[in-house]
Amino acid sequence: ILGRFFQGLGAALFVPTIYAMVFMAFPIAKRGMAIGLVAAAAGLGLALGPTIGAFIIEVSSWRWIFFINLPLCAIAATVLYSVTEKEQKPETREKLDIPGMFLLVVSLIVIMFGLNKSSDWGIASAPFVGVIAAGAFLIFLFVRNQQKQKSPLLPLDLLRNKSFLICISLYISFQYIFSTSLFISGLYMQSILNYTPAYAGTVFMAMTLSMGALSPFGGTMTDKWGGRLPITLGMCLLCIASIFFARLTSYSSVLNMVSVLIPLGVGLGLCISSINAIMLKSVKKDELSTASGAFCGIGMFANALSVVLNTEILIWLGKSNVFALIQKSGLALSVAQKQIVASLMSSTHYELSRIAKFSPDILSQLMIYIDESFVGAMSVVMTITASIAAIAAFIAARKLKSIKEIQSIAKAA
């Protein structure tokens, strides 16, 4: 947990700053393309990471998937320090809003914890309502704190910027769809299609490589015609791909999987650079780093939220589906066996060794029901994802301003 904390802290300091630095290093006419190149590099990392990590796990200890990051981080830090120009120190040093940081982090942790326990407690239970209410109250205190700060963590002026808020809504949708695609694809390929981690990582490159390849193209489209076209087109592709994903079965071929992953990657690639570019063009120059940080933070929360919500949906529906199939078929299970099945379905990673001692007849039938239950729950998750993509496409088509209009807002601010 401590290691993950420092990983998150490093990403929070690194990612927003990189986007702001790249944005300012290029002329206005090429900023979308530049952001697209950054997204392409991220896509390449996403493509190589799971594949290389899977091979490392197969030939060595899982610890090496973390050790290999040490020289990479050292190289990146050295290049960044030696290549980038030294910035002038600000005339006045503003204090960090430590109370605001504390309130924001704790409030998000409390809300995520409550959502994560929703399947155990029930959404109408006192513990769930109490935890969510506590998280909401902490967010209220955070907002009050920001109103009193001279240098707030999240300037409230950003929340009055309509163009920025439109970008936020699109980015939340993007991150939810992206995280869901990552999460569901991995579970489906390894738990249902029984792919090895290495093979699943290789198949998954169909999405990540196509995402990386299309990111510069999406940025270039944004530079030429504005963000409305690439984002609307990208979200429509994500909607269609999610619908086809929802129709996959427990015996779908690798060709079926790749035919879904490629349009997902294309849609993600068209959206990511365009959304980031128009967001950065919608704020004033002195707000770039703050806006980028807030943008990335909200995206990370949407990412984490999608995993929590999708996990709860998969567990709840998976458990309901498997017992409905057992009851419908008349499969005779003892009370103890039903408890084992319930325990098995209380996770998204099925430990099939728990049912290995069941009789062969029961075991073979139960395995079919488990697969069908997961696929049914997965279909619901991807249908929800398709709906989110459709709503985002509508927002982009109807509400999104062109880059020139957004720039005029930023200049007037």
CA nearest to 11, candidates 300, 393, 269, 286: 300
pLDDT given for residue 321 in this prediction: 92
Contact criterion met (CB below 8 Å) for 265 and 209: yes
Contact 152, 97 (CB under 8 A): yes
- Pick from 169, 179, 396, 151: which is nearest to 295 by CA? 169
- Taking only the tens of pLDDT, the chain with its 413 residues reads 567 667 766 776 677 677 777 777 777 777 777 777 777 777 677 667 777 887 788 788 878 888 888 888 888 888 877 777 665 555 555 666 778 778 888 888 888 788 777 767 777 788 888 999 999 999 899 888 877 877 777 777 777 788 888 889 999 999 999 999 989 998 999 989 999 888 888 898 899 889 888 888 888 888 888 888 999 999 999 999 999 999 999 999 999 999 999 999 999 999 988 888 888 888 877 777 777 777 777 888 888 888 888 988 998 899 999 999 998 988 888 888 888 888 888 777 777 788 888 888 888 898 899 999 999 999 999 999 999 999 999 999 988 765 444 444 444 44
The model's pLDDT over 85-140, given as tens digits with 9 standing for 90+, comes to 665 555 555 666 778 778 888 888 888 788 777 767 777 788 888 999 999 999 89
CB 117 within 8 A of CB 173: no
Nearest to 234 by CA among 383, 50, 36, 45: 36
pTM beyond 0.85, yes or no: no
pLDDT of residue 410: 42
Q: Tell me, what's the pLDDT at 413?
A: 42
Helix axes of 254-281 and 228-246: crossing angle, nearest 10 degrees: 150
- How far apart CA 382 and CA 14 sit, in angstroms, is 31
Nearest to 382 by CA among 318, 314, 299: 314
Q: Which phi and psi angles does 267 have, rounded to 5°?
A: -60, -45
pLDDT tens digits for range 4-46 = 667 766 776 677 677 777 777 777 777 777 777 777 777 677 6
